[in-house]
Chains A and B, each alone.
Chain A
Amino acid sequence: MSEPLDSGTPRDTLSRRSFLKGAGTVAAAGGVLGHPAHGEAPAAPDQDGPETIEGTVEVELNINGETVQVEVEPRTTLLSALRHRLQPPLTGSKEVCDRGDCGACTVSIDGKPAYSCLQLAVDLKGKEIRTIEGLGTPERMSPVQDAFCEHDASMCGFCTPGFVMATTVCLEKHPDADLDKIKHEISGNLCRCGTYPHIFTAALDARDRMREDR
């Protein structure tokens, strides 16, 4: 992934560190995040502000243009929320490493690529999340998706949604990207079948098609 999500800007949630402090007891700003859905009532706020929530909370997420309420634990990743918590689940984003090595779970958040396995769902209220399911359908594919089909850029297909997302975001940000730029932008994704040369061709073709549509 070429660049992280905004960091250093004030978040509308509290810091990640306080989420991660301790095991079992997780601090969260309940007022911002939502209310506890299960488990214990919120503990009284300590003097420094954050209150403690156990169990699950409801969070409002904007996924592919729809606002959905999802019940998550504070530690639930966006990937897990998509695959396991949403009803119906969105399983196009794949879990391969669950630790930011492979890019198979790539989504876009506010127009930037992100590994959804490294994002906490509770952190994402108010963000525009796009998943592979939001790009196109088998009947109406996006230019990138169609180019992947045209150039045989998918074999087993397990890495494909991540590559399609990364390529899409790359071309949205850099409509005139050359091959080196494309390679740089999608270099956070891994494929084991070895489709890479086909992905490169597909990405360049998609770039040209998207240019024509501009």
Chain B
Amino acid sequence: MATTPSPQDKVAWEPRDEMTVLNKDARRLDGPVKVTGRAVYPHDVRLPNMVYARLLVHPAPRSKLTRVDVEPARQVPGVVYAEVLKSGGEEVLYQGDDAVLAVVAAETPEAAEDGVRAVVVELEELWPPMVTPEQALADDSPKITENGNVVVAGTRGDQAEVEATLGRCDAVVEASYSLPVQHHACLETHGCVVDFDGEKATTYPSTQMVTGSTGMFARELGISRSDVRVLTPYMGGGFGAKFGIGKEGAVASEVAKALMRPVHLMLTRPQEFLMAGNRSGSKQVMKGGATKDGVFQALYVEADKHGGMGRGSLPTPPYIYDVASNASTIRQVHTATDANRAMRAPGHPQASFAMESMVDELSYAIGMDPVEFRKKNLSSEVYHRQLDRVAKEIGWAEHEHRTEPGKVDGNVRVGIGFGVSTWGSGGRPGCKCEVRIEADGSIRSSVGTQDLGTGSRTYVASIVAEEFGLELSQVEARIGDSDLPPSVGSGGSVTTGSLAPAVKDAAHNARVALCDKVAPVLECDPDELTWQGGKVYPTGEPDRALTWKEACATVGSDPLVAMGEFQPHLHQGRVHGAQAAKISVDTLTGEIKVLKMVTIQDQGIPLIRSALRSQINGGMVQALSYGLLEQRVHDADLGYMLTANLEDYKIAGVQEIPEMVAIIDDDDTRQTVCGMAEATCIPGHAAIANALYNACGVRIRDLPLSADRVVTELAKRI
């Protein structure tokens, strides 16, 4: 329901308890096309006269090319184009997009693959392959970046002072924690379709940045940005990996220019693993100390980020916790592998695993309840109520052993662990939204944003429906088209904070404009109208209502068009969350089964509650997956990636999923909006590792928590 508006009023979100569309569960607008297979993703685009292109990506990390010959590929039936992208005499410097040696385009995907197989490559592989941190750190290793293999990214604090404080602590824990490189593993691989006629182009990339992709294609095609249209109504997962158009977008553009035919170029699944992004791995050596009163007094950290050719990500210790005396050094250790990319809360799951493990170790070391120890060392009251809530939901108070672990006796033991999360989120200018109302009652909300599966398409409509007291289904949402008003890219959970205020502003402006049209008909003041239940009436006189259609008839022959833009006061940054995990571990075999996970997450106004719960659950699933299963593995001698497909790179499946409880933190009464998706994947794996310790006293400091690691540690405790 929308109450009396006034053109002078500053646009503001309605009180939550008066909302009729927002702050409710909602069926997503794109649900029906997705569940029936009608949604056309970039992979599904079929254009007349289209060719299929495939890349030749050599799996060796470092090599000297002596010959790349595409002539045999050109002889393959169906192949229409084959070009060398890296020639004999050149070097491959690292695994991934630097090893894209050739491209072949053909009438069918199979023929393109035949063509790729026919390309003759001769090269000398360079040794050592430099794919592991150990190889990068060895004294006699070749330099693989201009700045060497190790770059100090930042130091802070006074190590001597920290050591002195540690000397006064009752408990000191020294430990090294490590996390492997993780892959985004988007189910739709990277790629695009490029349709270029020599002057204008329509492109269909699988992207998390519709508006911004125009410039990238324009550069590659040598045309102006206004001559590029990007269409991505649906895309099959991003998680941070799909911002640029990538090497694949550049090559597709080249082929399209050469052939003047639409080009469909998608990475294969192994190529997706080799060159389409990853979360940097990490090794964090820590020394932490606490006093018996439960104060985390001091922390010293030496951390390495394993981002391949990239810089890696890791927030500065002590991360979320308050540790008065702290010092740290963070280094980048480079390997000859593809650069890390943003991945859902870059750096945070890594920092969280080490810090939450250290916090847990200290709490047990001083014999304090790990929930109480956390609360003692977190200044924000938000975390206190959130930890209490998840502790209640997971059954912590009833749990048998809270300050010491369970026994290793060959039986299945149950344990509970915790972790907290944070994320900056926020929003920024850049989104513009158009609300258009026609005399026949049709109303649509348009913005060139993208929906990665978060539900953004749906709230682009539901915010407008709320404004006019309509049903969600009455408002059409148009997104995924760069010809629509611009949107920011979807990274850092800024989409909601940037986009929703612009939609709200447009909706407000449209309402003010429509009030001006309707008021004379109802013979009342424009700011004395109430929009409710698909009707509009002078406030307090519902029997004088016009139906929505009747109200729209006042619009006249030209549509009513209102624009909106980012309004800073409608958003905020900073979200908080807490998670708990309950697991069982077979102390004979080391098998872990996650029984239950609970998350509470704040985000200001919940726009679509059902979509929020989906995000929370999705974050928990990804954390569980990272904790138990995921790791990129290289053959250290040959340099080849051993996990470049979904049977060797395991992600959580149906059978790994525990009971999950997603709690929207309704005690967060901020009357603003904020994205929250990234925070939800941060502490789950740490909570599981802490639950393992609680269950049986086994502390695994290296992810994933595989049964072999657990059973090895169990053996030490018998």
Contacts and interface: CB of A to CB of B under 8 A. Distances in A.
A25 B44 CA distance: 30
Given A91-B46, A157-B236, A158-B237, A192 B187 contact: yes
A136 B237 contact: no
Contacts of A132: 36-37
Contacts of B212: none
B234 interface: yes
Residue of A83, A194, A195, A200 with most partner-chain B CB within 10 A: A194
A116 interface: no
B32 A138 contact: yes
B35 A145 contact: yes
A49 B657 CA distance: 51
B511 interface: no
A116 to B, nearest CB: 12
A141 B653 CA distance: 26
A159 B651 CA distance: 14
A110 interface: no
Contacts of B187: 94, 96, 102, 104, 156, 158-159, 190-192
B613 interface: yes
A24 to B, nearest CB: 9
Interface in B584-638: 610-611, 613-615, 617-622
Interface residues of B, number: 60
Given A75-B110, A131-B37, A157 B453 contact: yes
Interface string A93-136: 11111110110100000000000000000000000000111011
A84 B30 CA distance: 24
Contact of A193 (B110, B618, B654, B660): B618
Interface string B84-116: 000000000000000000000000111000000
Contacts of B653: 187, 189-190
Interface string B454-470: 10000000000000000
B33 interface: yes
B185 A95 contact: no
Contacts of A104: 187
Interface stretch (A10-18, A29-37, A147-155): A147-155
B235 interface: yes
Given A197-B617, A197-B657, A157 B39 contact: yes
A78 to B, nearest CB: 13
Given A149-B35, A192-B651, A155 B454 contact: yes
Interface in A146-174: 146, 148-150, 152, 154-161, 164
Contact of B37 (A91, A186, A198): A91
Nearest to B109: A84
Interface string A188-213: 01111111111010000000000000
Nearest to B184: A192
Give the interface size class of chain A: 35 or more
A99 B647 contact: yes
A148 B31 contact: yes
Residue of B46, B237, B615, B645 with most partner-chain A CB within 10 A: B237
Interface of B, secondary structure class, is: loop
B275 to A, nearest CB: 17
A158 B236 contact: yes
B241 to A, nearest CB: 11
A137 B31 contact: no
Contacts of B176: none
B614 A96 contact: no
Given A152-B610, A158-B237, A194 B645 contact: no
Given A183-B654, A192-B186, A198-B617, A91 B40 contact: yes
A135 to B, nearest CB: 7
Contact of B618 (A80, A83, A141, A195): A195
A69 to B, nearest CB: 17
Given A149-B32, A161-B37, A187 B655 contact: yes
A57 to B, nearest CB: 14
A104 to B, nearest CB: 6
Given A91-B40, A96-B188, A136-B36, A152 B645 contact: no
A186 B654 CA distance: 7
B35 A164 contact: yes
A157 B110 contact: no
Interface string B636-675: 0000000001110001111101001000000000000000
Interface of B: 25, 27-28, 30-41, 43-44, 46, 52, 108-110, 184-189, 234-239, 268-269, 452-454, 610-611, 613-615, 617-622, 645-647, 651-655, 657, 660
